[in-house]
Structure 1
Amino acid sequence: MTKVTFITPDEERIEVEAEDGVSLMEAAVNNSVPGIDADCGGACACATCHVIVPDSFKSATGTPSEDEESLLDFLDNRQDNSRLSCQIEVSSALEGMEVVVPEEA
């Protein structure tokens, strides 16, 4: 199990223990993290699981695919470290990561 903290738009900190191999989005949904709607169920088709990854974990979360980049481009609140949590696989490399769930633009 890997501990990850989600920081919601109202600055609530929700620490979850996620099973390695699941997506970060699944970990959020399974723990009722506000702001992670996951409307498409993790199919990289909606961008309702948008998170901001800290610089220190950018390499551990991998590089966004072309499809993910396309969806992120439509977001008004996109940042350099924006990712779709459905595209990030939980592993021990993410232990202690704190991701921000941005306000909807």
Structure 2
Amino acid sequence: MGVIHVTDRTGKRHTLECIEGWRVMEIIRDWGLPIEGLCGGACECATCHVFVNEDWLGRLYPATDEEEDQLDTVVTRPTSRLSCQIIWTPELDGLELTLAPASG
């Protein structure tokens, strides 16, 4: 097991234990933080939008065209990703991200 560090929308930092192979969205949701993930990880809604710490961007797989299309529906930053498209692996131990403002 490893961890991710998530800053919530109030600025509070949470350290969450992770299980390999889980979507980061699932990890965040299962620890009770407010992330919607309405589509369940199908890359169809952008309600799991997060900002990844710049130091970690190069360690993630690049966003697919499908993910980029969904990100086009919300206000983004250069570090924006959909947490349903990030699968946690031991190489991501210590990943730092911030929940994006709720959309809608």
With the shorter chain as reference, the TM-score category is over 0.9
**What root-mean-square deviation, in Å, do the aligned CA atoms of Structure 1 and Structure 2 show?**
1.1
Letter in 1 for 2:44: A
Alignment equivalent of 2:85, drawn from 80, 87, 100: 87
1:46 corresponding residue in structure 2: 45
Q: C-alpha deviations, 1:20-78, integer Å up to 9, x for none?
A: 111101101111112x10100111000000001111111222100001000001112x0
Q: CA deviation at 1:104?
A: 2.7
1:101 corresponding residue in structure 2: 99
**Counterparts of 1:21 and 1:104, CA distance in 2:** 26
TM-score (norm 2): 0.93
Q: CA deviation at 1:103?
A: 1.6
**Counterparts of 2:15 and 2:84, CA distance in 1:** 18
Letter in 1 for 2:30: N
